[in-house]
Amino acid sequence: MSIRVLVVDDSALFRKLLQQKLEKEDDIRVVGAAGDAMEARSMIKALDPDVVTLDIEMPGMDGLSFLEKIMTLRPTPVIVVSGSAQEGAMATAKALQLGATHCYAKSGVGRTIRDDDGGELARLVREAAALDFSSGGRTAGATGIAQTNPLASVPELDWKSSPSLIAIGSSTGGVEALHELLADFPSNCPPTVIVQHINGNFSKAIAASLDQNSPARVMTAHHDLKLEPGIVAMAPDNSKHLTIAPSVNDGFRCVLRSDDHVSGHRPSVDVLFDSVATYAGQGATGILLTGMGQDGAKGLLAMAKAGARTIAQDEASCVVFGMPRAAIALGAAREILPLESIAGCTFAYRRKAA
């Protein structure tokens, strides 16, 4: 069965170009194209599309306001299609916070909307279509998870109430989750590093959006950035992996590496977590949030084996339970917590006395 897509864009040219990209695929069918929010609302009711691509820079009712209405009245997977200029990037960051599942840049470095995107838009549509919004925007997944127990011989350490370093991985639904999580971080939180799977055109805008919502200082990482208390550093783009290494004096610094993709991604959560396991060990805390696929599961296991505290977001609070589910199945997560509890438990943790 084909994935049914509604294209919403105020430009007739962009509607045509987006439709042409999608209809090259045998499993995707564009069932309608709307030029504004009013027309799109009628088409959503009449056509019941599986996925909506939404231009958020439209006249009349802007895309952000329309997105809020969609998520409130008729939850549907929405891919934000936007320019990567500063204004468009900031609006895209807000859209992801409001519940859009993915973002797609109309243009990028060395690419315009007319150019071949390597199937990126089609891939995003397929991922969005896999989400089950009939259950409140969450994916329906089996609750029973067969787990291995590779940590049976690894003793639970008496972790400090505040770790020396926090590493976070997330993907689909992650921007929304990071907004909620980082809002509960203290301003003097331990140095924190994040890999969020996202189009690199929007990384700076997303970091700026998170910074506005968090007591800590959120920024995109750069090579050799000293990781200090109160600093949250997010992987900057899709050209390099984010890792950590010891700083010259003490603590840690960011290291950006232009290696090949790992677990299908660059930056990869596995690569980040592996470096944290190597250099921060039992002083670190690893947190794996909502996301599609398995990136981060093996890295979280490496952290757990090194003595770190490891946390996976629970199924009920995930938009997509894929990444946490994979980590839990490996036995990598020492704790499985709802999103709203993760920050509080991270900074107030005490192991129960024996």
Q: Which residue has the tokens 């899709």?
A: 238
- Other CB atoms within a 10 A radius of the CB of residue 145 amount to 16
Contact between 333 and 288 under an 8 Å Cβ cutoff? The reply is yes
Is 9 a residue whose pLDDT tops 70? Answer: yes
**Does residue 197 carry a catalytic annotation?**
yes
**Cα–Cα distance measured from residue 9 to residue 211, given in angstroms and rounded to the nearest whole number:** 30
SS3 assignment for 68-85: HHHHHHCCCCEEEEECCC
> According to the model, what pLDDT value does residue 51 have?
97
**Cα–Cα distance measured from residue 350 to residue 50, given in angstroms and rounded to the nearest whole number:** 45
CA dist 206 → 34, 35, 89, 314 (Å) = 27, 27, 8, 24
Backbone angles phi, psi at 205, to 5 degrees: -65, -40
Q: What is the pLDDT of residues 70-108, one digit of tens each?
A: 999 899 999 999 876 677 788 899 999 999 999 998 876
Q: What is the pLDDT of residues 298-317, one digit of tens each?
A: 999 999 999 999 999 999 99
Closest to 95 in 3D by CA, of 73, 50, 63: 63
**Cα–Cα distance measured from residue 164 to residue 94, given in angstroms and rounded to the nearest whole number:** 31
**Does residue 116 carry a catalytic annotation?**
no
What does pTM read for this prediction? 0.89
Backbone angles phi, psi at 187, to 5 degrees: -65, -25
**Cα–Cα distance measured from residue 250 to residue 247, given in angstroms and rounded to the nearest whole number:** 5
Backbone angles phi, psi at 125, to 5 degrees: -60, -45
Provide mean pLDDT across the span 193-211: 94
Cβ-Cβ contacts under 8 Å for 202 (sequence gap 6 or more): 82, 84, 89, 92, 93, 96, 103, 105
One of 84, 295, 314, 317 is an active-site residue; which one?
295
Of 12-16, 132-136, 276-280, give the lowest mean pLDDT range: 132-136
Do the strands 102-105 and 78-82 form a parallel or antiparallel pair, or are they unpaired?
Answer: parallel
Cβ-Cβ contacts under 8 Å for 127 (sequence gap 6 or more): 101, 102, 172, 292
Is 176 a residue whose pLDDT tops 80? Answer: yes
**Cα–Cα distance measured from residue 66 to residue 69, given in angstroms and rounded to the nearest whole number:** 5
**Does residue 135 carry a catalytic annotation?**
no
**pLDDT-derived band of residue 245, with 50, 70 and 90 as boundaries?**
very high
Contact between 266 and 239 under an 8 Å Cβ cutoff? The reply is yes
Q: Which residue has the tokens 């008496």?
A: 158
One of 55, 84, 102, 197 is an active-site residue; which one?
197
Q: Which residue has the tokens 């439709």?
A: 19
Q: Is the dihedral of CA 289, 215, 98, 200 positive or negative?
A: negative
One of 82, 84, 164, 171 is an active-site residue; which one?
171
